[in-house]
Amino acid sequence: MRRTTALIVGAGPAGSAAAIVLARGGARPVVLERSRETGDALCGGFLSWRTLDRLHALGIDPDRLSRRRIGRVHVFASGREVEAPLPRPALAVSRRTFDTVMLAEAERAGAGVERGVAVRSAEAGSMVLADGTTLSPGTLFLAVGKHDLRGLARPTPGAGDDPALGLRVRIAPTDAMRRRIEDAIELHLFDRGYAGLAVQEDGTANLCLAVRRSRLHEAGSPDALLQAIARETPVFGDWLAMRESGCGVDAVANVPYGWRMRKGVAGLFRLGDQAAVIPSLAGEGMGIAVASGCSAAAAYAHGGAAASAGWQRRFAHDAGVPVRMAGLVRDLAEGPIAPRALPWLARAPFLIQVIARATRMM
């Protein structure tokens, strides 16, 4: 049996953030990642100003991710629109670039990284890898995103009778369209869903949607659903027409928006989506990932494995306000009130800034 002191499963933003803090604090964390190459996970790719501050504290210059900055948000609903400045500049970045930079920083700090290593199951202080190797971690940092690990699956987070689906297509915008939003993020609100669009570091645009399952069933397929939304929302349709040739629709099912892990156990830190799942409308999913990794590693440095249970409860509490606020905004955005509210927001655009601040991790 192979023994490790601090084992991190998952090399995404949460796992890498924890690895950086642990390694710089003198621990010798080991990161296990099932993929051999860094992919481009389905993700909106938005990094808020709060997350950029955390990256600065980790020694990561945001310019390594993208030199573009997002300073405003443009909201569309039923032919109406409103624009407002963000509280502070943010940026959009692909997960391939973000994960690569974060993991490289973890290795530079002294963390061990093992790629192509899949964990088959976990139980009672031990883990079994796909090749049959058994590990005995003193402390486990679980950063596997929305994918549960057998033996350590999250308590069933209720997604409701009409759960959300995450969809993503890649857009190759014209120069004129790219200039239009290179310093902005667009939000398109429609019946039982919404879409976010931003230009990433490579000049392509990332179009991500959160849609209720009932809409997919009505449409019959992801492509038919996209076309139906395009007919309802002309500006969305203009973007969809620039979809990359041959680009499929990436999808993830039954996203439990609003769920938080309120209970903890000794020796197990659940990070990122294993700790809290914020509605994607807020653009704070990666913010929660980085925040959880940093604070869990700090708690471990002060209290060791025994600190995990208390940390999990505190993190659930700290994430409560942004997650609940994002849930409220999501419910309003998906319903019939959203188009009627836009003219009101146009007269008081500072309210968008209030919402933007309230949905950030402190």
Q: Please state the CATH superfamily assignment of the domain spanning residues 2-42+94-157+257-335 in this structure.
A: FAD/NAD(P)-binding domain (3.50.50.60)
Task: Return the pLDDT at 348.
Answer: 79
CA atoms within 13 A on the CB side of 133: 12
With both helix axes pointing from N to C terminus, report the angle between 337-347 and 308-334 in degrees, rounded to the nearest 10: 100
Range 160-171 average pLDDT = 89
User: Model confidence at 351, in pLDDT bands (50, 70, 90)?
Assistant: confident
Q: How many CB atoms lie within 10 A of CB 123?
A: 10
Q: 108 versus 342: which is more confidently predicted?
A: 108
Residue 152 reports pLDDT greater than 80:
yes
pLDDT tens digit sequence for 254-300? 889 999 999 999 999 999 999 999 999 999 999 999 999 999 999 99
User: Model confidence at 236, in pLDDT bands (50, 70, 90)?
Assistant: very high
User: Would you kindly state where each structural domain of the chain is located, as residue ranges?
Assistant: 2-42+94-157+257-335
Task: Return the pLDDT at 156.
Answer: 67
Residue 106 reports pLDDT greater than 70:
yes
Q: 324 versus 132: which is more confidently predicted?
A: 324
* Confidence (pTM): 0.94
d(CA 88, CA 53): 11
Q: Residue 124 contacts by C-beta under 8 Å, 6 or more apart in sequence?
A: none
Residue 85 pairs in a beta bridge with: 72
